Amino acid sequence: MSLGWLLRRVLLALLAAFGVGVLVFALLRLIPGDVVTQLIGLEGNVSAEQQAEMRRLFGLDQPIWAQFLNWFSGLIRGDFGISLRTDRPVFTDLLLRFPVTLELTVLALLFAVALGLPLGILAALRRGQAADLLSSSFVLVGLAAPEFWLAILLILLFSLKLGWFPPGGYVSPAESLPGNLRSLFLPALALSFGLAAATTRIVRASLLDVLSQDYIRTARAKGLTGSAVVIRHALRNALIPVVTVIGLQVGSLLGGAVIIEQLFGLPGVGRFALEGINLRDYPVVQGAVLWIAVSYVLVNVVVDVLYGVIDARVTYS
């Protein structure tokens, strides 16, 4: 892998993320209403003069191109803007909330890989047998069941009925590590089902394809055991599509699992973006979406790099 290729890939990724930010900036201005409309709805009747003054204070009286230039110039300096509702820097709030989303993503990924990888391998090695049928059923349920529905079932069972885990809220690891893990267990488990199902399906399909290759038959003819053939030869070459699927899912999760974070009351990036949308807080929405886009494209850059690590036949120029 050449340094030039990596720099070009990162640059293109950042340009794509910036394009998403510009698109969101434009679309937000096309939605009827703004933060002043929201405030008026909460605080009662406000005169037209007061509304105009509020828009002037928020900078909403400027032309769209002027608002864009102000946003872009601040972005170059690393300034995502100030929240129109809380008067706090958006970048600071994102830094405070991102660790929650990151921890949730890592736990969900661990659950998904721990479940999906063995099931996929077992289904490929036991093709057409009971294990394959059970894994296919799990894939069907995992891909079809909505995350919020699974989350509600988990809350009903493990929180309300058994009382093992809290139904919502977040405990910082600095405050209590066991409490932190307990507060994230159910949301991570709910998020992991779909990813585990996709991982199982891709591992099974990819491994079946690799196991039919000539070099696998040659390895078996040399007397290698079944586990050695699968682990040392077949599995590594079957991981590229698996890494692709996991990378796309992780990029989405890092952007914030909006429904899950809202349902469990987790102060993550997804919930932060949703609050900004509901309140028409333009800087919050723009900053959160740009953060999500950057996270997504950078994860895809990492996935591209991993291709060459997993398979030496992959080259970059």
Summarize pLDDT for 110-128 with one digit per residue, the tens.
Answer: 898 888 888 888 887 777 7
pLDDT digits (tens, 9 = 90+) for 179-205: 888 888 889 888 888 888 888 888 888
159-180: average pLDDT: 84
88: number of Cβ within 10 Å = 13
The DSSP output letter for 89 is B
Residue with the bigger pLDDT between 203 and 59: it is: 203
14-33: average pLDDT: 73
Long-range residue pairs from 299-303, CB within 8 A, at least 24 positions apart, any chain: 299/247, 299/250, 299/251, 299/254, 300/13, 300/247, 300/248, 300/251, 301/6, 301/9, 301/10, 301/13, 302/247, 303/243, 303/244, 303/247, 303/248
The topology under which CATH files domain 98-267 is MetI-like fold (1.10.3720)
pLDDT digits (tens, 9 = 90+) for 66-111: 777 777 777 777 777 777 777 788 888 888 888 888 888 888 888 9
Find the length of the chain.
317
The pLDDT value given to residue 1: 54
**By percentage, how much of the chain surpasses pLDDT 90?**
0
The pLDDT value given to residue 203: 81
Which residues are CB-neighbours of 110 under 8 A, at least 6 positions away? Answer: none
pLDDT digits (tens, 9 = 90+) for 211-244: 666 666 666 666 555 555 666 666 667 777 777 7
128 backbone dihedrals φ, ψ, rounded to 5°: 80, -5
The pLDDT value given to residue 93: 86
The pTM of this model reads: 0.75
The pLDDT value given to residue 282: 75
168 backbone dihedrals φ, ψ, rounded to 5°: -175, 180
The pLDDT value given to residue 131: 77
Residue with the bigger pLDDT between 308 and 90: it is: 90
The tokens describing 255, both together, are 């952007």
CA of 306: how far to CAs of 54, 171, 221, 311, in Å? 50, 33, 31, 8
